[in-house]
Structure 1
Amino acid sequence: MIFVTGGAGFIGSNFVLDWLAQTNEPVFNLDKLTYAGNLANLQALQGDGRHIFVQGDIGDTALVARLLAEHRPRAIVNFAAESHVDRSIHGAEDFIATNIVGTYRLLESARAYWSALDADARAAFRFLHVSTDEVYGSLAPGAAAFTEEHVYEPNSPYSASKAASDHLVRAWHHTHGLPVLTTNCSNNYGPFHFPEKLIPLMIVNALAGKALPVYGDGQQVRDWLYVTDHCSAIRRVLDAGTVGETYNVGGWNEKTNLSIVHTVCDLLDELAPRAGGGSYREQITHVKDRPGHDRRYAIDARKIERELGWKPAETFETGIRKTIAWYLANAEWTRDVQSGAYRDWVAAQYE
């Protein structure tokens, strides 16, 4: 069995679904079910005995210790995190609590559990920490992409909290010997993405006839990774990664935010034309840029390809088409996650 934290969120739920589609090894799933955690993401696993879910916090050391003792996992895969940059700017405390204090407490729980295992189980155990390319800061145009040796230069409360969590994971390996692995991924997109992030927000707003808010000039560059490619990379790192190492996971898809919005509009023009005619591009509205907005991220994913043989299966063109098709086919999911609190947040942020 593996123990997944944050497995009802966007990437975590995709990982759980993908894991159980690839293997019969059971998953124990712990998620706090904050606003972005959604059990509807895991509805396909209802009644599946391979999936065990408990609502709880990685910072609850008594709960985590009890669950580890009861289920005896061979690995922990930590997705649990607060992850929205804009929210971290307006209120950083939840990010500090989950991403830093929560990771520390989870590491301590894992260390206590691992230390008590027999020699063979200790040697086989892994703690895989899922992180982000945002810890590296911002790249100048034309600068080489982030490698695993790039200096950490986080520029937002979110990325600073994730950088801190990465350092804690590294320290628990070098100080205590905990067998850890770290992955730093680029921007994910795909099914079950909460509609506060760029791609799902554009899809949802476009279909609702609302403005499509683009920060500043929209020329911020990101590397885009389809979420199931990210899941396959994590499986590969868990299976064959070298203990103590970091692996950058990217999609080799550098795109400006504005070009992403244009692509979403053009595909919606094709797949779900506006009732009154015209293009969804007409709904694009430029809004004031957010504070400390990093200009460019880019991942150099050659290490994971060279050492572990992994590379993404999806191009951006195939992945974005699948993503938009999923949202068009799952309008009920989108309606259900758009609570009053979410609508208030979007209004405060963009209006």
Structure 2
Amino acid sequence: MRVLVTGGAGFIGSRYVRRVLNGEYPAFADATVVVLDKLTYAGNLDNLTEVLTHPRMEFVHGDVCDPDEAAAAMSGADTVVHFAAESHVDRSIEVSGGFARTNFLGTQVLLETALTVGVRKFVHVSTDEVYGSVEHGHSRETDALRPNSPYSASKAASDLLACSFHRTHGLPVCITRCSNNYGPNQYPEKIIPLFVTSLLDGRPVPVYGNGTNVRDWLHVDDHCDGVQLVAEKGAPGEIYNIGGGTELTNMELTGHLLAQLGADWSNVVRVADRPGHDQRYSVDSTKIRQQLGHCPKIPFFEGIRDTVEWYRENREWWEARLRRSYDFSEFEKARS
């Protein structure tokens, strides 16, 4: 078996690759894993250090938007797991072109290539953000897509394109839509690693608006396990939500991180709310639980404790990246 993992040097993709090669998924025990990654700011070979020399690991430095590079990487593949994406909402608000290119055009190139190669399963990894803000209840796979940021719009467009390749060409595509991921190796621009590394360095942490926005939190390992179930047993043409089951406001999350790191609310700076900021995301994961047997195994407060400890112990990993990834000047200025 040969499995192509796009974006396999990023946060979630690298975790998935390591879990496959470390024997977590018996159905892929003999699989050769080919990682295709452009190694942009969020993708790093350090995330794959422990498996780079694995006999079943191959790395291809390339762009999912390049048809030749995609074809070379996908040659002989039975399964494609497509993680590669631009994913930071703030960046998409500032400059949306790269999100449209990578998330939509890149997916189109991969789908066309998969059709030519004849892969047996194409798993397109998406996000709960495509449903837009959910005031009450939970988003189901059949709900309309109402994205509100350039990032989520680009992912919604790629979801629709993936569905069209199944319906038009019979390509065996499955789509997963996950809630907010957290865990080790997450690039320090997302809220949890940003706040943890800032507090470890004695810097303030920014809370948008009134801090009441709600997110559902999913450990990266539980997400990878759900993706793997879809890769093994997902029905072609189907969509599967993968949720964590722990909904917190940003203020609740901030308070928990402050407590873990021995800080107080004087370390918090309120900043102007993000344009178009969705109030709440929440997915109904009944389908993947009942049909494929997925159930998150890592309780949030256990997982976040271990995540904080990972950042404590791996300063060398994040320190240089952190200072390149985020401009803290406005928060320092507001604090003073």
TM-score, normalising length: structure 1: 0.90
Find the counterpart in structure 2 of residue 14 from structure 1: 15
Aligned counterparts of 2:332 and 2:187: Cα–Cα separation in 1: 16
Could you list the runs of 5+ residues in structure 1 that have no partner in the other structure? 115-121, 270-278
2:106 aligned with 1:102: yes
2:294 aligned with 1:310: yes
Residues 205/176 of structure 1: CA separation in 2 closer, same or farther (3 Å cut): same
Aligned counterparts of 2:331 and 2:234: Cα–Cα separation in 1: 40
Residues 127/203 of structure 1: CA separation in 2 closer, same or farther (3 Å cut): same
Given candidates 287, 291, 298, the residue that maps to 2:275 is 291
Say if 1:287 and 1:350, in contact at 8 Å, map to a contact too.
no
2:252 aligned with 1:265: no
Could you list the runs of 5+ residues in structure 2 that have no partner in the other structure? none
**1:247-258 paired onto structure 2 within 5 Å:** 247-258=240-251
Aligned counterparts of 1:247 and 1:90: Cα–Cα separation in 2: 30
Amino acid at match of 2:126: S
Amino acid at match of 2:256: T
- What SS does the aligned partner of 2:177 have? strand
Aligned counterparts of 2:225 and 2:303: Cα–Cα separation in 1: 14
Find the counterpart in structure 2 of residue 226 from structure 1: 219
Say if 2:204 and 2:331, in contact at 8 Å, map to a contact too.
no
- Give the 4+ runs in structure 1 shifted more than 3 A: 346-351
Amino acid at match of 1:10: F
Aligned counterparts of 2:270 and 2:205: Cα–Cα separation in 1: 8
CA offsets, 1:168-204, max 9 Å, x none?
0000000011000100000000011011000000001
Amino acid at match of 1:133: D
2:30 aligned with 1:28: no
Residues 93/249 of structure 1: CA separation in 2 closer, same or farther (3 Å cut): same
Find the counterpart in structure 2 of residue 324 from structure 1: 308
Say if 2:122 and 2:172, in contact at 8 Å, map to a contact too.
yes
CA offsets, 1:99-132, max 9 Å, x none?
0111111111111111xxxxxxx6xx00000000
Say if 1:187 and 1:222, in contact at 8 Å, map to a contact too.
yes
The percent of aligned pairs where both chains have the same amino acid is 47
Find the counterpart in structure 2 of residue 50 from structure 1: 56
Deviation at 1:54, TM superposition (A): 1.1
Residues 94/348 of structure 1: CA separation in 2 closer, same or farther (3 Å cut): farther
Aligned counterparts of 1:212 and 1:17: Cα–Cα separation in 2: 31
- What SS does the aligned partner of 1:338 have? helix
Find the counterpart in structure 2 of residue 175 from structure 1: 168
Find the counterpart in structure 2 of residue 79 from structure 1: 83
Deviation at 1:347, TM superposition (A): 4.1
CA offsets, 1:233-278, max 9 Å, x none?
1111111111110000000111001111111111122xxxxxxxxx
Find the counterpart in structure 2 of residue 39 from structure 1: 45
Given candidates 122, 126, 141, the residue that maps to 1:127 is 122
Given candidates 195, 200, 203, the residue that maps to 1:202 is 195
The farther-off stretch of 280-289 and 184-193 is 280-289
CA offsets, 1:288-333, max 9 Å, x none?
1010000000111111011011110011111111111111111110
TM-score, normalising length: structure 2: 0.94
Say if 1:206 and 1:280, in contact at 8 Å, map to a contact too.
no
Find the counterpart in structure 2 of residue 273 from structure 1: none
Aligned counterparts of 2:291 and 2:157: Cα–Cα separation in 1: 26
Aligned counterparts of 1:164 and 1:350: Cα–Cα separation in 2: 37
Find the counterpart in structure 2 of residue 89 from structure 1: 93
Amino acid at match of 1:78: H
Deviation at 1:350, TM superposition (A): 8.6
The farther-off stretch of 16-25 and 173-182 is 16-25
Given candidates 93, 110, 113, the residue that maps to 2:117 is 113
Superposed CA RMSD: 1.4
Amino acid at match of 2:255: H
Aligned counterparts of 1:236 and 1:343: Cα–Cα separation in 2: 35
Say if 2:128 and 2:283, in contact at 8 Å, map to a contact too.
yes
Amino acid at match of 2:271: V
Find the counterpart in structure 1 of residue 147 from structure 2: 154
Aligned counterparts of 1:258 and 1:339: Cα–Cα separation in 2: 24
2:306 aligned with 1:300: no
Deviation at 1:148, TM superposition (A): 0.6
Say if 1:31 and 1:54, in contact at 8 Å, map to a contact too.
yes
Aligned counterparts of 1:304 and 1:211: Cα–Cα separation in 2: 39
